Structure 1
Amino acid sequence: MADPTADDVRDYIAQGLRCEHLEVEGDGRHFFATIVAAEFEGLPRVRRHQRVYQALGDRMREQIHALSMKTLTPAEWAPSANAAGSTPAAGHHHH
């Protein structure tokens, strides 16, 4: 199986989880995802991560250990986005 791209991982997560904001960076072996979802509200971090793994399903079974993530609620995410003086819509994108 070919190594997934960061875009693949982002698509997999987006298919299984409604995200307000979703950014994935990676090189095919190690990925870092920033995931902002309203349904994380009130969940401890470990449950949030389980929810993301659930969204990924079997597709990432092999690579899942190479995924590190930051899981935030919109409320947790907004202050840091605003503090940087940039609106979420103007976030930086790596291609």
Structure 2
Amino acid sequence: MTAEELHALISAGLPCDHLEVAGDGRHWDALIVSSAFEGKRLIQRHQRVYATLGERMHTDEVHALSMKTFTPAEWANAQNH
């Protein structure tokens, strides 16, 4: 799995206003900004991303994924501070 492949998988399954992915092929960090996170708690946001990745989360393709998830408004607010 490459960063580009993981980026494509997330963006194909989730409408993203902003998406950054970095990692070493097994351990990944993702910053995801999506309107799909509106009204969702942190655990629900992460579950949505996990659902998008499906079985890849249960194999060595994505061993670990650390996420920062924002709604567009939260992201805009974070950028101004």
TM-score of the superposed pair, with normalisation by structure 1? 0.77
Percent same amino acid at aligned positions? 56
Contact between 2:26 and 2:63, CA under 8 Å: does it hold in 1?
no
- When you count strand as a share of all residues, which structure comes out higher? 2
Q: What is the CA-CA distance between 1:65 and the residue it aligns to?
A: 4.5
Runs of 4+ in 1 over 3 A off after TM superposition: none
RMSD between superposed Cα atoms in Å: 1.4
User: Any unmatched runs of 5+ in structure 2?
Assistant: none
Q: What is the CA-CA distance between 1:61 and the residue it aligns to?
A: 2.3
Q: What is the CA-CA distance between 1:79 and the residue it aligns to?
A: 1.8
Listed one character per residue, the Cα deviations across residues 17-72 of structure 1 (whole Å, up to 9, x for unaligned) are 11111110111021000000001011000000000011111233224451000011
> How do residues 1-95 of structure 1 correspond to structure 2 at under 5 angstroms?
4-63=1-60, 64-83=62-81
Question: Highest Rg: 1 or 2?
Answer: 1
Which segment drifts farther, 73-82 or 33-42?
73-82
The one-letter code matched in structure 2 to 1:50 is: Q
The one-letter code matched in structure 1 to 2:68 is: K
Larger relative contact order (CA 8 Å, sep ≥ 6) = 2
TM-score of the superposed pair, with normalisation by structure 2? 0.89
